[in-house]
Chains A and B, each alone.
Chain A
């Protein structure tokens, strides 16, 4: 319990104005490093329905601020690719989105939520974009949610669910 508190304290810095600033590092991704098998579910805006397919990934930590995701799609190998997640030098941003929440879950996994403004859909509608990462020894999730400007509802855009 003491160590969890210590980690939490270490991950929160006070800005000069007294506002709390959430900090992350590649250490948050460490327990999730390695190979995972699972699925990708995404919302097909054309049909308005979710679509699922098998998806595997190798998560590796590079340097001090870089996480590389080597994505495999067994049913569509031509779509295999490598993505990267970059942590800002000050640890407050993940891949260009502000860290708005960081917590340690009961099983020890780290849950990080980031947000940024952007656009989504074929018509590039303005939206708030939310990214949720759950990084544990036994499970790894990445989820993107979208809330279009003028609406109150978060829509699941895509979700990767993996297990060892």
Chain B
């Protein structure tokens, strides 16, 4: 059995406050097909934040959401994603867009694998990675673009229970200079990395990374409500 098959059979406590069937979720599009994403806006964090807030408010939505296996143009805003001849553009997590301060909860019991402040423009900012074991499978959940204060009380190896208030969405100054959002990603093999793991890969590496980073909606369970 693969991890994805196991996760499909399980249900998890919510990662975010969300009332299924009542709260609206706006499906966000950060691909080339979105002509509203002009470089002058995307490169300016304040303007980019305003664009996202307006989209969510106009749709009367609780959150903007999307991005797994999405080929995104927005990463041209940061050199973090420029790797040699082929830049990284394929997104490996799900992003949930909302106001800074939105709480994030742990969906299943885990152990603090690592945490870090990845403080480059366009990077994760405050980041937490939790290790889980479920029916013999070991995997990790990564939470990026958090509030810096959320790292203060953590220690590697600390055991945390499902449902715990893990963190909050960070402001741009501490979340890697992005509009406030959560980057939520599943990772099977951390490849020895601590406090960081690629959230975006080269298209040529798609097969490996999607295999190592299954669809986060298997735990989130929110994408079916996105319109």
Question: Which of the segments A7-15, A87-95, A134-142 contacts the partner chain?
Answer: A87-95
User: Which residues of chain B are within 8 angstroms of A66 by Cβ–Cβ distance?
Assistant: 111, 159
User: What's the Cα separation between A84 and B133 when bound, in Å?
Assistant: 11
Closest to A97 in B: B138
Contact B155 A82 (CB under 8 A): yes
In the complex the two chains form, is B133's CB within 8 Å of A88's CB? Answer: yes
Q: Mark B107-135, 1 if CB is under 8 A from A, else 0.
A: 00001011000000000000000010101
**Secondary structure at chain B's binding surface: helix, strand, loop or mixed?**
mixed
Q: B136-166 CB contact bits vs A (8 Å, 1 = yes)?
A: 1111000000000000000111010000000
- Verify A92–B136 contact, CB threshold 8 A: yes
How many positions in chain A have a CB within 8 Å of any CB in the partner chain?
Answer: 21
Indicate whether A68 reaches chain B with its CB closer than 8 angstroms: yes
A interface, CB within 8 angstroms of B: 62-63, 65-66, 68, 70, 81-84, 86, 88-90, 92-93, 95-96, 118-119, 124
- Closest A residue to B189 by beta carbon equals A118
Give CA–CA (A157, B115) in the complex, Å: 25
CB-CB < 8 A to B54: which residues of A?
none
**When the two chains form their complex, are residues A81 and B114 in contact, meaning their CB atoms are under 8 A apart?**
yes
- Residue B79 interfacial (CB < 8 Å): no
* Number of residue pairs A-B, CB distance < 8 angstroms: 45
A81 to B115, CA, bound (A): 11
Give the complex CA separation of A139 and B157 in angstroms. Answer: 23
17 A-B residue pairings within 8 Å (CB atoms): A62-B157, A63-B159, A66-B159, A68-B157, A82-B157, A83-B157, A84-B131, A86-B131, A86-B133, A86-B138, A88-B135, A89-B136, A93-B138, A95-B138, A96-B138, A118-B189, A119-B189
Q: Specify the chain B residue showing the minimal Cβ separation from A67.
A: B157
CA distance A63 to B158 in the complex (A): 12
Contacts of B208 in A (CB 8 A): 119, 124
Q: Which residues of A contact B111 (CB under 8 A)?
A: 66, 84, 86
* A57 to B138 Cα, complex, angstroms: 22
19 additional A-B pairs beyond A65-B133, A81-B156, A84-B113, beta carbons within 8 Å, are A62-B157, A63-B159, A66-B159, A68-B157, A70-B157, A81-B194, A82-B155, A82-B157, A84-B111, A84-B157, A86-B138, A88-B136, A90-B136, A92-B136, A93-B136, A96-B133, A96-B137, A96-B188, A119-B189
